Structure 1
Amino acid sequence: MSYNILVTGGAGYLGSVLVPELLKLGHKVTVLDNFMFGQSPLLDCCSSENFNVVRGDARDEDILKLLLEKADYIIPLAALVGAPLCSRDKIGTITTIRDAAASLVKLASKEQRFIIPTTNSGYGIGQKGVYCTEETPLNPITLYGKAKVEAEKIVLDKGNSISFRLATVFGTSPRMRLDLLVNDFTYRAVKDRFVVIFEGHFKRNYIHIRDVARAFIHAVNNFDTMKNEPYNVGLSDANLSKLELCAKIKEYVPDFVYLESPIGEDPDKRDYIVSNEKIEKTGFNPVYSLEMGIKELIKGYKIITNSKYSNV
């Protein structure tokens, strides 16, 4: 069965992977995005009659009203992401994540279905050796994490909704991000051959960008049995510390050197391990391993370079 799907922020890191997959399945997809990063990741979608794109702001209720008229599913991806960007624009972070979600909920009908990505960084600092489940109290540390937790509550309180608490995402995307931890460390291994890390024992969970897209499609296909619940989405065999992640990358970039600094702090203080059992029980299992992602990124970094932003 095909649906009309509205994706706000659909030209971003996740959206530019998810939207083409939704189109392949025969869904009609409308993307609302302000294209703030000056990239053009959805050009390949323009040949599809089922694709519509609107350049605009996900906080603009006049635009949202029009786009919601035909939507069966709403996927709010629009967000300011990453500690440096969120620190620079605190108001934009809150309004784009929390307030935009509230506007969508206010304007949508009870029948319209929401699938929202949040973050398992909402767990903050976990107990050593204890897995965070969906029942674990949320304790977000960063502004981004707090805004995402608030947005999740707004959407789940509406009903007819699903929240995905995503692990740290990795992998290549048409709208590439180099700042995500696996992507960043692999880039440094390939380009610089070294990295200095802070608080290398801090652990977190990871998930490939294409498995995230698969999770959304799984939710569309199984919405009635999954609705009104949050789900952790990550690789169950990838609850790794930064040092363990570096060791894994070194297997594929042998001359990669990583050092842990005895001074300094990571601005992102999250430290937890996560259980993904709940979504696995619905029949969803990731198919892209961390190793596959690292090898993919190594190839991608033969194409991508940050040199256009440097003086050398």
Structure 2
Amino acid sequence: MHILITGGAGYLGSTMVPALLAQGHKVTVLDSFQFGENSLAAACADPGFEAVRGDARQTDVLRPLLVQADAVIPLAALVGAPLCDRDQIGAVTINRDAIATMVDLMSPAQRLLIPISNSGYGVGEPGKFCTEESPLRPVSLYGRTKVEAEEIALARENTVSFRLATVFGMSPRMRMDLLVNDFVYRAVSDRALVLFEAHFKRNYIHVRDVARAFQHGLDHFDEMRGRAFNVGLSDANLSKWELCETIARHVPGFTFLEAPVGKDPDQRDYIVSNARIEATGFRPAHSLDDGIVELIKGYRTLNVHRYRNV
């Protein structure tokens, strides 16, 4: 299969592209390479890999690449509430409008597999799991643009949407601003962390399991198309306090406490059911503990100031 991936040099793509090439797919990446990274350097040796420098919002760039593709994975996005708040026009035009343009240009036969954050659930009901049928109530511009992009994408029949939990783990294009990655770094470097609203819960998923979920979607597309799927660890619906307790098992001397005053600017708080994708046969292969251990090793090697998106 020939797969077009926009934003394929980023945190998700630099893990996903080698995995898809290893399966024998041809992969073309369209990316602005704005971070100046060499995250896909190893892929260049694969004859099935091509890279194109460009913006996913440019129709004249996108159109000829789409003509060649059997499947499209649009990873190009401004990710996270802080970055979207900083560049609100970019958030709307990249996260939502570029998807609308892509859908208009695609033929009905082409497959679209789109990543959507489960941040769209916003604030869930206490003790009640968010399923794919739960109302979407995003609390940030980032969440709103991703929810709107999903609605546009699922209006076509040949689409699968993955509502991703908070991603963690090492990647060739590393991200330090994701919650688990950030907390582990602070545990390793500072041995201390102050939490705001430590009871807020989220679900989590390893970056390599995100790649595996998309591979699973390609392999089971006819069964899954036309629907959204939560993708996360069913044993990792954890509060920030519980996450720190898990990290502390691997970082001796790590101390954390809750701030008596103040609010987290990210007000997401929900637990998520991943039963729908599990019913198709998908199971994550990497636990939260696995990710924490690899992050601890990874932070011994990184110049961490390069790996933030804001």
TM-score category, normalised to shorter length:
over 0.9
Aligned equivalent of 1:160: 158
Greater Cα shift, 80-89 or 93-102: 80-89
Matches within 5 A, 1:118-197: 118-197=116-195
Please state whether the residue corresponding to 1:158 is helix, strand or coil.
coil
Counterpart Cα distance in 1 of 2:237 and 2:204: 7
Letter in 2 for 1:31: V
Q: In structure 2, how many angstroms separate the alpha carbons of the residues matched to 1:308 and 1:185?
A: 17
- What secondary structure, in the 3-state scheme, does the structure 1 residue paired with 2:10 have? coil
Alignment of 1:32-51 (within 5 A): 32-51=30-49
Residue 87, structure 1, aligned to residue 70, structure 2: no
Instruction: Report the AA paired with residue 287 of structure 2.
Output: S
Look up the match of 1:253. 251
Deviation at 1:305, TM superposition (A): 3.0
Give 1:11's aligned residue: 9
The answer on whether the counterparts of 1:80 and 1:96 sit within 8 Å (CA) in structure 2 is: yes
Aligned to 1:99: 97
| Structure 1 residue 307 displacement after superposition | 5.5
- Could you say what secondary structure the match of 2:3 adopts? strand
* 1:308 Cα offset (Å): 7.0
- Number of aligned pairs? 307
Q: 1:262, CA displacement in angstroms?
A: 1.4
C-alpha deviations, 1:46-85, integer Å up to 9, x for none? Answer: 0111000000001000011010011000000000112221
Corresponding position of 2:202:
204
Partners of 2:36 and 2:254 in 1: CA distance? 32
Tell me what 1:283 maps to.
281
For 2:213 and 2:253, locate their aligned partners in 1 and report how far apart those are by CA, in whole Å. 35
Kept in 2, the 8 Å contact 1:83–1:267? The answer is: no
After superposing on structure 2, the runs of 4+ consecutive aligned residues of structure 1 that deviate more than 4 Å are none
Deviations 1:250-288 (A, max 9, x none): 000011111111111111110000000000000000010
* Alpha-carbon distance between aligned partners in 2 of 1:107 and 1:298, rounded to the nearest angstrom: 43
For 1:88 and 1:174, the matched residues in 2 are separated by 25
Q: 1:117 pairs with 115, 118, 137, which one?
A: 115
For 1:161 and 1:38, how far apart are their aligned partners in 2?
A: 31
- Give me the whole-angstrom Cα distance separating, in 2, the residues matched to 1:57 and 1:225: 32
Paired residue type of 2:254: F
In structure 2, the partner of 1:62 is 60
Relative distance call for 1:204 and 1:308 in structure 2 (3 A) is closer
Partner of 2:303 in structure 1?
305
Corresponding residue of 2:232: 234
TM-score normalised over the length of structure 2: 0.98
2:81/2:140 contact within 8 Å kept = yes
The residue type paired with residue 291 of structure 1 is D
- Which amino acid is 1:53 matched to? A
Contact 1:23-1:50 within 8 A present in 2 as well: yes
Separation (CA, whole Å) in 2 of partners of 1:157 and 1:83: 25
**2:176 touches 2:304 (CA, 8 Å); kept in 1?**
no
Gaps of 5+ in 1: none
Identity of aligned residues (%): 63
1:71 aligns with 2:73: no
Unaligned runs of 5+ in 2: none
Kindly indicate whether the alpha-carbon contact (under 8 Å) linking 1:30 and 1:53 is maintained by their aligned counterparts in 2: yes
Find the aligned partners of 2:105 and 2:62 in 1 and give their Cα distance: 8
Query: Is the CA contact 2:201–2:240 (under 8 Å) kept in the aligned structure 1?
Result: yes
Asked whether the equivalents of residues 13 and 177 of structure 1 are also in contact (C-alpha less than 8 Å), the reply is yes
> Do 1:205 and 1:234's aligned partners in 2 also have CA atoms closer than 8 Å?
yes
In the alignment, the residues of structure 1 paired with residue 200 and residue 303 of structure 2 have an alpha-carbon distance, to the nearest angstrom, of 28
- Check conservation: 1:199, 1:266, Cα contact below 8 A: yes
- In 2, the alpha carbon distance for the partners of 1:139 and 1:307 equals 33
CA distance in 2, matches of 1:24, 1:308: 28
SS in 1 for 2:68: coil
